[in-house]
Structure 1
Amino acid sequence: MAVFTEVTPDQARELMQQLGLGELQELRGIQGGIENTNYFVTTEHTGADGETVRGEHVLTLFERLSAEQLPFYLHLMKHLARAGIPVPNPAARPKPDAAPGTESNDILHALCGKPAAVVNRLRGASELAPGVAHCEAVGAMLARMHLAGQDYARHQPNLRGLAWWNDTVPLVLPHLDAAQQSLILGELAYQNHVAASSQYAALPRGPIHADLFRDNVMFDGPREAPELTGFFDFYFAGVDTLLFDVAVCLNDWCIDLATGVTDLPRSAAFLQAYAAVRPLTAAERALLPALLRAGALRFWVSRLWDFYLPREASLLQPHDPTHFERVLRQRVTRPLQAADLLAEPTPTPAREHAPTPAT
């Protein structure tokens, strides 16, 4: 675990009781993640007809995010859960003297001096070698999530967006060779050019996950007919273009990991399933190649930052930065067009041409 705060059974037991989740049966640290401390928690309580009800939860202590930042993420999950999107639903502290069935907004807690949350544990497991059916399911659910988030009232920008890239690239630049420096500086200039265009300004926006990799989705059932049981780890979420979320997924779910090369069947399955729920606008179709490059740049920069400028508390080996360098080079030299993936005819393009790609 990257950052670890030890929670004792007595501390966890008290919190579970305060939340009305039952008596603590098991507390087990999760050996994964690079941002927060996580525990699996099992509880039991007596149901209405006297039977024993078992509860499975995840307790998270936030090591970097502040109590001021966290309401955006936690209430977003609560909002999506109410809309029927399978996401972890933060447990609220019961409200004294509230009417039966009334839910409190008190979903941010404190433990060991850290902000904390408790959510239900999703069933299933992550699929790290996805097939067409998995990509299709993720595409459709991502579109549903984007639609469900349109009336979410809170706002927070994508904290790992363009402004962060502009601030962070100069910090990692001394660690790169001449060819890498040329690539990253050229791509950063191109993304600033894209972001200044009127076509980019026309892209639909809303709350996005921004980090929906293979290990942040759960599936159950047989491989040939998987059931998507949840999206999780929303702690990089923010308001940004919906197309950026699409691009992040295409760059992880629909490529060959060893080379970064596009897998066309998986890419088509993902984007067609997404567009069947929320059709892409003309601006989104035109800018898909640029946003695929943006998604690759974002994770190349963040992995370079984690690799060369690790935080003192980090105990895990950081991810290999060269993976997303390969993905970016693929997206630059072999741009993927929306028309390559979508079966329906391309709509009339917007008056402004997509920004000219840099090489």
Structure 2
Amino acid sequence: MAVFTPVSLDDLETWITQFPLGKAIAVRGISSGIENSNFFLTTERGEYVLTLFEKLSFEQLPFYLNLMRHLAERGVLVPAPVANGRGEILHSLHGKPASIVTRLQGSSQMNPQPVHCAAVGAMLARMHLAAEDFPMQQPNLRGLAWWHETVPVVLPYIPDEAKALLRAEIHTQEAFAASHVYHQLPRGPIHADLFRNNVMFDGERLTGFFDFYFAGCDTWLFDVAVTVNDWCIDLDSGRLDPARLRAMLASYHAVRPFTEAEKAGWRTMLQAAALRFWLSRLYDFYLPREAEMLTPHDPTHFERILRERINHPAPALF
């Protein structure tokens, strides 16, 4: 959502005519995030979000866009891709893959309370179940294989104590991924990045999940762990907040009960979720790309969360 590729109204004047949206009236860059160029787009027909994809390819993108369409058609609150007159939802602008999706109402809840966490937990479970019959397959591109590629790249930049933690956690996750418990975990398409700023609320009413461009097929438990590690913590310390944690997990469990394998793998999966974002933030911090309005996230936040999950394991699942 940083802007790597600027887009103006002049750029859109002819391009927008392929859609049933009328003329483009305004386009404004969105400054948060670091992967794609995103814009709020106002047309004669309403409010939308325009995305130019800076890293994902034309071959990879049908998975994400069709997953969003699949979920929207099943009543999950997500942005719906807008098709052009030929029924296509993947387009090209400035030589890059592009999409237009409907804009969700409301705003991100950056100070969540248990009621917000409960709503997110229930919708996440519904999303997992709704995607069970999604026919396309794509791995989580920020999973174990990517961790192996990225660790040697970031190790030279970090202090010895952090190096030791990173190496030890990679060994832990390798062993977990090879275990019987791991291979029993239910899996399917996941969001994989369901942070507070990727969910919209109108008051206490959840209005939608968005930014599916890290989605892939992985364990549902990993998706839950990623979400818990952002929504249910004290941001300064990384400690889990018991009330928010209970609210989210109970609401998820009420829609899709956790399995025995998920209960056994829960604490290690929370570490995996922390490791994934520590690694990506280390990479973005030490090897940044140029972009308008780009501010890399602080990697020490997820290092702190990982240490907290190791030193103070989370309560057991239901």
TM class by shorter-chain length? over 0.9
Amino acid at match of 1:87: V
Q: Please tell me whether the aligned partners of residues 34 and 314 of structure 1 are also in contact (alpha carbons under 8 angstroms).
A: no
Counterpart secondary structure, 2:132: helix
Alpha-carbon distance between aligned partners in 2 of 1:9 and 1:59, rounded to the nearest angstrom: 12
1:87 matched to 2:78? The reply is yes
Structure 2 Cα separation of the partners of residues 268 and 166 of structure 1: 33
How do residues 176-195 of structure 1 correspond to structure 2 at under 5 angstroms? 176-195=158-177
Matches within 5 A, 1:150-189: 150-189=132-171
Counterparts of 1:20 and 1:14, CA distance in 2: 13
Structure 1 CA distance for aligned equivalents of residues 24 and 307 of structure 2? 50
How many residues in Structure 1 have an aligned counterpart in Structure 2?
A: 318
Structure 2: runs of 5 or more not aligned: none
Partner of 2:32: 32
**1:285–1:337 contact (8 Å) kept in structure 2:** no
Distance 2:292 2:172 in 1: 32
Check conservation: 1:37, 1:62, Cα contact below 8 A.
yes
1: CA distance, partners of 2:244 / 2:32: 27
The answer to whether the Cα contact below 8 Å between 2:108 and 2:201 also exists between their aligned partners in 1 is: yes
Is residue 146 of structure 1 aligned with residue 128 of structure 2? yes
Post-superposition Cα deviations, 1:307-332, rounded to whole Å, max 9, x if no partner, equal: 11223447522111111111001100
Q: Which residue of 2 aligns with 1:291?
A: 269
1:200 alignment partner, one of 177, 182, 191: 182
Residue 311 of structure 1 corresponds to: 289
Deviation at 1:29, TM superposition (A): 2.1
- Kindly report structure 1 stretches of 4+ aligned residues shifted beyond 4 Å: 312-315
The higher relative CO (CA closer than 8 Å, separation ≥ 6) is in: 2
User: How many angstroms apart in 2 are the aligned matches of 1:325 and 1:25?
Assistant: 43
Task: Give the structure 2 partner of residue 70 of structure 1.
Answer: 61
- Identity among equivalent positions (%) equals 61
Tell me which structure has the larger Cα radius of gyration: 1
Of residues 319, 330, 334, the one that matches 2:308 is 330
2:80 is paired with a residue of what secondary structure? coil
SS of the residue aligned with 2:131? helix
CA distance in 1, matches of 2:171, 2:52: 37
Unaligned runs of 5+ in 1: 45-53, 96-103, 343-359
Aligned pairs (5 A) from 1:1-359:
2-44=2-44, 54-95=45-86, 104=87, 106-221=88-203, 226-313=204-291, 316-339=294-317, 342=318
TM norm structure 2? 0.97
- Asked if the contact 2:31–2:294 (Cα under 8 Å) also holds between the matched residues in 1, the reply is no
CA distance in 2, matches of 1:313, 1:217: 24
For 1:162 and 1:324, the matched residues in 2 are separated by: 17
Q: In the alignment, is the contact (CA less than 8 A) between 1:204 and 1:242 conserved in 2?
A: yes
Deviation, structure 1 residue 287: 0.5
CA distance in 2, matches of 1:41, 1:177: 43
Letter in 1 for 2:46: G
